[in-house]
Amino acid sequence: MTTSVDDAITRAGAIVARFRTLFVGVGVAGRCAVVAKSLNPELTVIFESGIIGASLTSPPRSISDRRLYERCRYVAAQDELFDCWLGGRRIEAAIVGAAQIDLNGCVNTTVIGGYANPRARLPGAGGAPEVRPLLASVVVIPQAEGRIVDSVDFVTYRLPEDVERWLVTDRGVWYARAGEPRLAPEVP
Amino acid sequence: MSPRMMALGDAVAAMVRSRDTVSIEGFGQRIPFAAVHEIVRQRIGELHLVRMGVDLVGDQLLGAGLVATLTFSWAGNPGLGTLRRFRKAVEDRAPRAVALEELSHGALLAAYRAGAAGLPFALTRSFEASDLPAHSPLLAPIACPFTGEPLHAVRAVRPDVTILHGQRADRAGNVELAGVIGAERFAAFAAARTLVTVEELVDALEPRFGSAIVPAEVVTTVVNAPGGARPSGVDGYYDRDDEAYREWDALSRDDARFERWLAAL
């Protein structure tokens, strides 16, 4: 039986499958990218480890998984990845996970509680603040219980406002057009 | 001067000193576990650790209480989630408090490149709306002198010593890296000295597709250490040992088991 977690992953994968180049973050984003790649075999999938055009037939063990580049277009050094692909905005869409998010598009992957005395220390920013896609940004949180808040504990970064944004969860989907500051529930 | 070939214990004792700023790089692959374990065995402490992805090696140094300051951009067990010893250090200040100098991957990579280029800082657009600059001593607001655009300066990183693991080194001390190429070369150019462990010593390195070279000019010491990156993977030699990463998650969440691991290392 399909669970709502699987539904969220399938839904997020379908959203990003319509683009040509996709940046994929750690964790659950990799499972969404497998869905997207199966729907759109022409999709160029890019990881922050520098892997460009991964074949992506199964979910990666990590973003440096060598199985990701056994059949990829090439492996860019990370300075090319961050400066030219991400800084130069050569990627149409991005999909990442998050520990906490608010509907202004503020994402927290740093701390729950205060920075100096956190109740829970999270992994931190990684490469997510560098990701400025040209067209669309998707955050996927398959189990959203307690993770969508009025105001995040810490703003690690804010989703760029000049692109379409989706928040995809087991509780539903939120969306903002390019230029709109706030995400709103998507009418089914 | 050609780089010296040394045994691992001697190389670590000669090159890593208490209070040093130590960069350890290798992005999910070619992680110099053997060299880090030697630092732990020799209990070289009060270190300022610089590492983009603080994974198991960072967790081990933090858990051993050897890190006073941590410059980093992500701290997790790749593919599995949280790092138990890192969280204990930050949340409980145990076994000691650690000062955090936190960045993003792109910003820390830029900081290495500035250090390698002899520049005081790099520029980034990554923190426009972020709370991180208020907490990170490595970030300061700066305006573009041409357009006035608000940006952030990232202070350059200049390690006392950089530690890497490569596939092969030649007799002159040139080191071949293959697979995912992260900050390694910039961390070596930015550092006062660099220690590299390798899978294999060869007479000469023939150019190979997809590989990068850390040139002998920035390699101080080479250590022949086959298997020295296990349980991470080294392209052409061995794959990541996923079970060891899962086992670390179980071991490191239990204080008593971690202490036994530390004593037995």
Q: What is the pLDDT of residues A84-143, one digit of tens each?
A: 999 999 999 999 999 999 999 999 999 999 999 999 999 999 999 999 999 999 999 999
| Cβ–Cβ contact B115 with A under 8 A | no
pLDDT at A138: 98
**Phi-psi label, residue A78: left if phi above 0, alpha if psi -120 to 50, beta otherwise:** alpha
Inter-chain residue contact A61 with B125, CB threshold 8 Å:
no
pLDDT at A188: 64
Nearest CA-CA distance, residue B23 and chain A, Å: 17
| Cβ–Cβ contact B210 with A under 8 A | yes
Residue of A nearest to B125 (CA): A130
Instruction: Please tell me the total count of domains within chain B.
Output: 1
Q: Note if A161 is an active site residue.
A: no
pLDDT at A65: 86
Using the predicted structure, report yes or no on whether residue B139 has a pLDDT greater than 60. yes
pLDDT at B2: 60
Q: Is A2 exposed, middle or buried (0-12, 13-18, 19+ CB in 10 A)?
A: exposed
* Nearest partner of A64 among A77, A43, A81, A50, judged by Cα: A50
What is the C-alpha radius of gyration for chain B, rounded to an integer number of angstroms? 18
Tokens coding A56: 């992506």
Give the other-Cβ count within 10 Å of A7's Cβ. 14
Pairing of strands B139-143, B150-155: antiparallel
Give the rounded percent of residues in chain B with a pLDDT score beyond 90. 95
Cβ-based contacts of A110 with chain B (< 8 Å): 102, 131-132
| Cβ–Cβ contact B180 with A under 8 A | yes
pLDDT in tens, B205-226: 987 777 899 999 999 999 999 9
Locate all alpha helices (DSSP H) within B148-219, ordered by sequence.
Answer: 184-190
Share the mean pLDDT of chain B. Answer: 96
Residue of A nearest to B110 (CA): A79
Peptide bond into B231 cis (omega under 30): yes
Class (C level, CATH) for A4-98+127-145+157-183 = alpha beta
Inter-chain residue contact B181 with A78, CB threshold 8 Å:
yes
Using the predicted structure, report yes or no on whether residue B1 has a pLDDT greater than 50. no
What proportions of chain A, in percent to the nearest 5, are helix, strand and coil? Answer: 20, 25, 50
pLDDT in tens, B60-116: 999 999 999 999 999 999 988 899 999 999 999 999 999 999 999 999 999 999 999
Which ipTM score applies to this complex? 0.96
pLDDT at B145: 98
Tokens coding B30: 């070619």
Using the predicted structure, report yes or no on whether residue A187 has a pLDDT greater than 80. no
| Cβ–Cβ contact B73 with A under 8 A | yes
| Residue B200: φ, ψ to 5° | -155, 140
Share the mean pLDDT of chain A. Answer: 95
Give pTM, 2 decimals: 0.97
| Cβ–Cβ contact B97 with A under 8 A | no
Tokens coding B49: 């650790």
Q: Hey, where are the domains in chain A?
A: 4-98+127-145+157-183
Using the predicted structure, report yes or no on whether residue B233 has a pLDDT greater than 50. yes
CATH number for the domain including B228?
3.40.1080.10
Q: Are A123 and B82 in contact (CB under 8 A)?
A: yes
| Cβ–Cβ contact B4 with A under 8 A | no
CB pairs under 8 A between A and B: 140
**Phi-psi label, residue A146: left if phi above 0, alpha if psi -120 to 50, beta otherwise:** left
Range of the domain at B166: 4-127+134-264
Tokens coding B154: 């990232």
Q: Is A68 exposed, middle or buried (0-12, 13-18, 19+ CB in 10 A)?
A: buried
CA distance B169 to B190: 20
Query: Average pLDDT, stretch B137-155?
Result: 98
pLDDT at A59: 87
Inter-chain residue contact A125 with B102, CB threshold 8 Å:
yes
Q: Which of A48, A80, A161, A186 is catalytic?
A: A48
Nearest CA-CA distance, residue B14 and chain A, Å: 31
